[in-house]
């Protein structure tokens, strides 16, 4: 009888320990309440712009971006855009979408991120298959580098054509925004005032190309590092500054040891916050 009791104890114990759910993510709203994927899609479908923030190397987020795009495409006409494509690469991107060049041609003519094949190609190919516009929204990196080295004034020397690849000059900038202050503090002052300015020229340019390519009857989904739209700053700030009535839904990502327990410090980071475990495999 004792052996049976011991056996049953280990069966129950093992069941409790090893049969617990291991979710890959949990979805929360801005206040930290758990919400369903379905409710997120419903709210996104009524927006003008979705800023889908990501951790660039997290596969769960990239999967959710694609799933969200597929499901929203059933409800709304879409335009897609991304930080991962720089504005001067719009022509080769368009040529790929129109099937006048293949993947090898795009690899040759555009500056693709090293995780393009696993993380962004599925989105581009979805746009291609469904004949959706895909906007190369980011400023050319070399221009951001110019700002880092010489401030916004360094952009004045660009050619007329080069200036079409970024937000109109002069770049509007608020040095008191908490995100820019935090960025400067995190670097211990290295980079000085120009570090957040280099970030701002990216934010301003992405917002500019979103607004320039947004169509009244379409939902614009933009994929970007979450730090470009966290706390309703960055791209979000520039969009609102140019159109205070625009309806934006933001998404952010946080890594939590226990994704079932929301940390209060993450409240109001975005309209939807995706909690992922830090042990999740990285794409690079």
Q: What is the pLDDT of residue 185?
A: 87
In a domain, 121, yes or no: yes
The per-residue pLDDT for 69 is 98
Based on the structure, what is the number of domains in the chain? 1
CB atoms closer than 10 angstroms to residue 16 = 9
135 burial (CB, 10 Å; 0-12 / 13-18 / 19+) is: buried
Q: What is the pLDDT of residues 58-85, one digit of tens each?
A: 999 999 999 999 999 999 999 999 999 9
**Taking the model in full, what pTM does it have?**
0.91
Q: Is residue 242 part of a domain?
A: yes
**pLDDT over threshold 60, residue 1:** no
Structure confidence at residue 154 (pLDDT): 98
Q: Per-residue pLDDT tens for 207-247?
A: 999 999 999 999 999 999 999 999 999 999 999 999 999 99
Decide if pLDDT at 10 tops 50.
no
How many other CB atoms are found less than 10 A from the CB of residue 171? 19
pLDDT for the residue numbered 20: 67
Indicate the average pLDDT of the chain.
93
Percent of the chain with pLDDT over 90: 87
Instruction: Output the pLDDT for position 14.
Output: 44
pLDDT band with cut points at 50, 70 and 90 for residue 137: very high
Residue 192 pLDDT level (bands cut at 50, 70, 90): confident
Residue 258: inside a domain: yes
Domain range spanning residue 57?
A: 24-276
Residue 282 lies in a domain: no
Q: Is the pLDDT of residue 262 over 90?
A: yes
CATH value at residue 196: 3.40.50.11550
6-15, 109-118, 122-131, 256-265, range with the lowest pLDDT: 6-15
The answer to the question of residue 16 being in a domain is: no
What strand order describes the sheet that includes 77-86? 26-29, 272-276, 248-255, 49-54, 218-225, 77-86, 134-138
18 falls within a domain: no
Q: Is residue 284 part of a domain?
A: no
Q: Which residue has the higher pLDDT, 193 or 136?
A: 136
The pLDDT of residue 189 is 61
Q: What are the φ and ψ backbone dihedral angles of 236, each rounded to 5 degrees?
A: -55, -45
Residue 6 has pLDDT above 50, yes or no: no
Please name the helix (run of DSSP H) or strand (run of DSSP E) that holds residue 29, with its range, or none.
strand 26-29
Alpha helices, DSSP H, located in 98-150:
103-109, 121-129, 141-150
- Of the pLDDT bands very low, low, confident and very high (cuts 50, 70, 90), residue 184 is confident
Residue 12, domain member (yes or no): no
- Examine the pLDDT at 164 and tell me if it is beyond 60: yes
Give the confidence band of 186 by pLDDT, cuts at 50, 70, 90.
Answer: confident
């Amino acid at each position: 009888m004792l052996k049976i009791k011991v056996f049953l104890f280990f069966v129950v114990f093992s069941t409790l320990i090893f049969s617990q759910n291991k979710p890959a993510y949990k979805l929360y709203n801005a206040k930290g309440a758990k919400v369903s994927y379905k409710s997120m899609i419903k709210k996104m479908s009524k927006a003008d712009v979705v800023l889908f923030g990501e951790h660039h190397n997290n596969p769960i987020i990239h999967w959710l971006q694609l799933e969200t795009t597929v499901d929203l495409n059933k409800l709304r006409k879409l335009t897609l855009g991304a930080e991962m494509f720089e504005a001067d690469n719009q022509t080769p991107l368009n040529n790929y979408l129109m099937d006048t060049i293949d993947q090898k041609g795009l690899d040759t003519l555009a500056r693709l991120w090293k995780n393009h094949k696993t993380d962004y190609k599925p989105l581009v190919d979805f746009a291609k298959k469904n004949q959706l516009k895909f906007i190369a929204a980011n400023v050319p990196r070399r221009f951001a580098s110019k700002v880092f080295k010489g401030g916004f004034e360094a952009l004045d020397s660009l050619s007329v054509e080069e200036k079409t690849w970024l937000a109109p000059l002069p770049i509007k900038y608020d040095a008191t925004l908490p995100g820019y202050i935090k960025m400067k503090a995190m670097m211990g002052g290295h980079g000085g005032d120009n570090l957040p300015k280099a970030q701002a020229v990216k934010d301003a340019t992405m917002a500019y190309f979103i607004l320039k390519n947004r169509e009244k009857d379409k939902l614009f989904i933009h994929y970007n590092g979450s730090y470009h739209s966290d706390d309703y700053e960055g791209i979000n700030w520039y969009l609102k500054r140019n159109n205070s009535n625009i309806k934006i839904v933001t998404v952010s990502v946080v890594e939590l040891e226990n994704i079932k327990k929301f940390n209060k410090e993450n409240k109001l980071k975005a309209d939807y916050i995706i909690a992922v475990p830090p042990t999740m495999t990285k794409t690079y």
